Structure 1
Amino acid sequence: MTTIAVTGATGQLGHYVIEQLKQKVAANSIVALVRNPAKAAALGVTARQADYAQADALETALTGVNTLVLISSSEVGQRAQQHSNVIQAAKNTGVQHIIYTSLLHADTSPLSLAEEHRTTEAELKASGLTYTILRNGWYTENYLGSVGAALEHGALIGSAGQGRIASATREDFAAAIVAVATSTGHANATYELAGDSAWTLSDLATEVSKQSGKTVVYNNLPEAEYAKALAGFGLPEGLAQAIASWDVGASQGALFSDDKSLSKLIGRPTTPLATAVERALNA
């Protein structure tokens, strides 16, 4: 029996992967790799303690695993070493295939996030293991968290200008992971994954206005001003500056792709912006 393990299984992307895997394979063939197994009880699969930073524990957690879904760590700045720990543990325990969630156009992206992904991709390719690199575009949810404040103030703010964002939902990206993990033909492949239809922050403001009945406009701010506003909302200064820089990257095309690999992999269109906005408003 093929055993599929998923890192970060209780995270925002990971729990969707587990849910969708259970629709394709037996639950007893799935392993959730988490820092606190007690928090994974609701997933309905075997949970093993695993921390990206603890190499020895990773080897124990990966024993008997055939396919590993390596969802990138959330700790920006520590990712390269943490991912390296996982890859080395996978080699030492006989994992046959790693599926890694990278970044859209990681090889050329100007985003500050890209460098650690490039490092991990290079290590995977040199590891001798079979791999599949899924270069995920932006999650639509990255912007939907601002809808409440936009409705309250009548404005959505950012620094993306009229940059087109080819996003998809976490459920869409999870479906791609599951498709690769449960089918053949993906050995040593790299996929650029993006939503079928791109949109701008002005489009998002228009859609929120349409569905809510309240006027919301998009205010484009200089990078430093946007970072200052985010810090004023309580975000750590470093994170605020990073988010503002990613928006500027979006204005330069970093989050756009017309590659349809995502919808091809999942066998359906990606979730439209209007549907994602509707879900956010209902929530």
Structure 2
Amino acid sequence: MIIVTAATGQLGRLVIAGLLKTTPAAQIVAAVRDPAKAADLAAQGVQVRRADYSDPASLDAAFVGATKVLLISSNALGNRVAQHRNVIDAAARAKVGLLAYTSVLHADRSPLGLAGEHRETEAAVRASGLPFSLLRNGWYIENHTGGLGGAVAHGALAGAAGEGRISAAARADYAEAAAAVLASTGPVEQVYELAGDTGFTLAELAAEVSRQTGKTIPFHNLPQADYRAMLIGLGLPAPLADLIADSDAQAAQGALFDDSRILSKLIGHPTISLTAAVEAAL
């Protein structure tokens, strides 16, 4: 029985779609806070069980019969470690054969502000005594392509990443990797550093958008504080603006670059190209 937590989220749905290609639906459990949102998964034969990261009893009930659990990291910034520990403890009580966790690229040494909670969670995973896999996901290319409509409308792409190369991959690429690890019948690695095949700068992203739209879309590199202020001015909450601006600033120093191509080896094909990602977004 393979349990996928946060299964109605964007990543979770893609992981389950990947698992359904190799694993009988009856052996997959979608663990979700609101089962009503998983009616489409239930219709495909996937078991749907209520599981709230902040409710240990619900996790124990959801993990009955579990052999493998995928812990998809919470989006509750600042509260993630406590929530993750609840999941890890429930997995330990269920004595699962594999606990996989979606961490962040190079979590053990990453300067990203968001890496701290991932490091603490990784430590808890290791301390659980369970067999584990740390899926250290790099940047999602959707983090950049998701806002291209605004960039085209305003005639510029802004950021604070300078000439830093970003080895981003599609959310679907990372989901496929998670599904491959969960469906494996053999041994799996304890740590996977997952990233896109080819890094790009934000200037190169802007150039690709310009090429595909036929409009001149320059990249404006801003100081971190100015970029943060711009994001807040666009309506983002301050904590999220802090995270995005910090991530860009760290990317300028190479924090989001990785050229190991472990991800494409794991999924058996190249990760999404910048051209294809921009085309899909536009």
Could you say which TM-score interval applies, normalised by the shorter chain? over 0.9
Query: Could you tell me which amino acid in structure 2 is paired with residue 228 of structure 1?
Result: A
What one-letter code is carried by the residue in structure 1 that aligns with 2:55?
Answer: Q
In structure 1, give the amino acid aligned to 2:162: G
* Matched residue, 1:164: 165
Match of 1:178 in 2: 179
State the partner residue of 1:221. 222
Give runs of aligned pairs for residues 130-279 of structure 1, distance below 5 A.
Answer: 130-187=131-188, 189-279=190-280
Cα distance in 2 for partners of 1:222, 1:153 equals 19
Amino acid paired to 1:175: E
Find the aligned partners of 1:251 and 1:239 in 2 and give their Cα distance. Answer: 19
Secondary structure at the residue paired with 1:277? helix
Distance 2:261 2:145 in 1: 23
Distance apart, 1:96 and its partner CA: 1.6
Q: Distance in 2 between the 1:187 and 1:211 partners?
A: 40
Q: Which digits, 9 at most, give the CA deviation of each residue in 1:91-125, with x for residues without a partner?
A: 11222211111000000000111111111111111
Instruction: Specify the SS of the correspondent of 2:135.
Output: strand
- The CA deviation at 1:185 is 4.4
Tell me the equivalent position of 2:97. 96
For 1:14, the equivalent position in structure 2 comes to 12
Where do 4+ consecutive residues of structure 1 move more than 6 Å? none
Corresponding residue for residue 110 of structure 1: 111
In structure 2, distance between residues paired with 1:208 and 1:148 = 10
Map of 2:56 onto structure 1: 55
1:28 to 26, 29, 32: 26
1:128 aligns with 2:126: no
* Amino-acid identity (%): 54
Q: Find the counterpart in structure 1 of residue 39 from structure 2.
A: 41
SS of 2:174 mapped into structure 1: helix
Paired AA for residue 12 in structure 1:
Q
In 2, Cα distance between the equivalents of 1:275 and 1:38? 34
Q: Which moved more, 1:160-169 or 1:232-241?
A: 232-241
Within 2, Cα distance between the matches of 1:82 and 1:187?
A: 25
Q: 1: distance between equivalents of 2:69 and 2:238?
A: 34
* Residue 3 (structure 2) aligns with: 5
Structure 2 gap segments, 5+ residues each: none
Residues 135 and 191, structure 1, Cα contact 8 Å, conserved in 2? yes
TM-score normalised by L of structure 1 = 0.96
In structure 2, C-alpha distance between the alignment counterparts of 1:187 and 1:156, rounded to whole Å? 40
Asked whether the equivalents of residues 29 and 49 of structure 2 are also in contact (C-alpha less than 8 Å), the reply is yes
Q: 1:238 to 1:277 in 2, by over 3 A?
A: same
Query: What amino acid sits opposite 1:238 in the alignment?
Result: P
Rounded to whole Å, the distance in 1 between the matches of 2:277 and 2:7 is 23
SS at match of 2:90: helix
* Residue 184 of structure 1, CA deviation: 3.9
Q: CA deviation at 1:186?
A: 4.1
Task: Measure, in 2, the Cα distance between the counterparts of 1:230 and 1:48.
Answer: 37
Gaps of at least 5 residues in structure 1 are none
